[in-house]
Structure 1
Amino acid sequence: MGHRGFSPDIEPYADSWKQGTWSVEFKQPQLHIARSYTPLPPKLDMQSSPDLRFLIRREKNGEVSNYLANLPPNAIIEIRGPQAEVDLPTDATDIVFLAGGTGIAPAMQVAYTLLEKRTEGQKPKIHIIWANRRRADCVGGLSSSPSRTASERKSTPHLAEGVVRELQLMRTRHPEHLSVDYLVDEERTFLDQKMISASTRRAAGDMSSKLLFVSGPEGFVSFFAGPKRWEDGQEKQGELGGVLGQMGLKGWQVWKM
């Protein structure tokens, strides 16, 4: 995983932080391949953020992720965007976010926009469930639910520690609105239908105000919500399938990220 930075304080990024989820495209110039990545929100413990930051997993056969990982410091790269994805409604009351791996970035965008950029009366209850393969991917993370608190084994320093610290800080700033649970495959804590049911049952809003997001690798999204589909050269939501489709959730709008 790695960070790359740009200035977010000029238009159009400043407006994007207030609206909803969004991404930018990085271009691999030799292969003419572009991939979309979701910026992490600005650091909460800084007066201003000079960078636009990303959490990117270097995939073995990932042309763009390997290209970015091999760049020297201060390299100039091509980006395109921002590309708006989901406009977050002002009347949202309950949000559940299922995040797999680097899918935590859109979850943090949602929490930042709704808790830091909206007025008190517009802040919903947000529950983020972050599933990872290894403890190193979320080292330091302490779940809001005591029964789901993973073990705190020693681990080598990892970039994700910074992400966890920011999640913890956001929880401290908004204890009545944000809860986070950390799941780790190697510790045998898994995201399943029972956990999703428990999270959705706690919500009390009507259909127009309850949102459930699924974000992460393609296989993660497909397993829990069914695959997206390509139509007219664009990636669309597709039918709801997977675990959520089998559950027959009522009153929830589901978004695949």
Structure 2
Amino acid sequence: MTTALIAEDEALLAEHLRAELARLWPELQISGIAPHGAAAVEMALAQRPDIAFLDIRMPGLSGLEAAEAIGEEWPQGETPPLLVFVTAYDQYALQAFERAAVDYVLKPVQPERLAQTVARLREALRRRASAPSADAEVNAEATLAQLRALLGAPGLGAPANASPRLTVIQAGQGAAVHLVPVNEVIYFEAADKYVRVITAEREHLIRTSLRELLPQLDPERFWQVHRGTVVRCDAVATALRDDAGKVTLTLRGHADRLTVSRLYAHRFKPM
């Protein structure tokens, strides 16, 4: 039986989508309706649906952030759900969805457009079912590649315009402001409403989000390796992959080890 999760914070819209799916695809079982992004992640990981319909704008985690968390935490060796984003975005942003080959439906959901999505989902599931079991990891990587493309698309996961590059981090501590050269930072880590700034000598806290900080960093030098972690690539000594495929980084000048999520493990492959 094919199962699907709906994540939508507006109850009437969620019920409308559920009813339209029941009419167009009677065999589809809706495993749950999540009222916000964090609940969508929790329910997806618990229920393992075949499909997830994610509203882009939800309280807390957005639909993209929820998809990112699902992709990171999905069990190794299992194929993540097919993703359909429900959005009220304009045409400019929709081009990003089309380039990333992830399906989407516009609000309010129109039956004709949803019927096309259902047909695409059925075909994708048919291809998955007919593929050899050895292709599970290939299917998983294809889903993760779509997510990476969306997270890097201007106007969606990435800012439309490049931000000026930071050269110095101004970290407040009491009455003092510490000026930390960005080139000395080994890694950044999200910590609630703050970001931990880790250097060889000490740790600082800055009151900003990692998503706000990331566009100000040079992407050639600072690599996102987890939803909550960005590392200076030349501070990485080794990338260790265990038997389950999990990647852990050791660092130059620091004893910490960093976990790499599945979404970003592609960065660490031999040349």
TM-score when scaled to structure 1? Answer: 0.26
Between Structure 1 and Structure 2, the one with more helix by share is 2
Structure with the higher fraction of residues in strand conformation: 2
Larger gyration radius, structure 1 or structure 2: 2
